[in-house]
Amino acid sequence: MIKSPPPFGLPLETCGTGRHNDGRQTMKSYREELWFETKTRRAYLNITPQVEAAVKRSGVREGLVLVNAMHITASVYINDDEPGLLRDYDEFLERLAPHDARYRHNDTGEDNGDAHVKRQIMRREVVVAITGGKLDFGPWEQIFYGEFDGRRRKRVLVKIIGE
């Protein structure tokens, strides 16, 4: 099923049938888009509840979920949802790649060279196992959306495959 483009914050969904012509079960494929627009240039959002909800809607009990930032100045990563750690990340990234004019990318008229570097450090995507219909995390693990050049709409792809 494909729905029209979503209003802010609502997912776009697609789902494979999961059946052979003779009725045998096949691997399912399910896709959703999550949309975010942060009020600040940099932000770190725990998106675990949205991903868990997508897994539930997919009906997949055993499989994998890919969660992928679909913009070159945002990331998806896994870590602990502890406020001090989030501040430490932000300070660390700002020391490594400060928001200033030093980047050659900014010579093109852009001002977000630092955001590209921060995204490269924090990664593009994560893959998490689905076991028994639930995300199979280690202790304290949560999925985060990292925004490094915010204040505009960006999307995250959630792709689920399994049975």
CB count within 10 Å of CB 34 equals 25
Residue 1 has pLDDT above 70, yes or no: no
Residue 9 has pLDDT above 90, yes or no: no
CB count within 10 Å of CB 138 equals 6
Which architecture characterizes domain 25-162 according to CATH? Sandwich (2.60)
Domain ranges of the chain: 25-162
List of E strands, 37-148? 43-46, 62-69, 74-79, 125-131, 134-135, 142-147
- For the entire predicted model, the pTM comes to 0.85
pLDDT tens column, 97-153: 999 999 999 999 999 999 999 999 999 999 999 999 999 999 999 999 999 999 999
Check residue 26 and give its pLDDT: 80
pLDDT tens column, 45-69: 999 999 999 999 999 999 999 999 9
pLDDT tens column, 66-80: 999 999 999 999 999
Contact indicator for 128, 136 with CB cutoff of 8 Å: yes
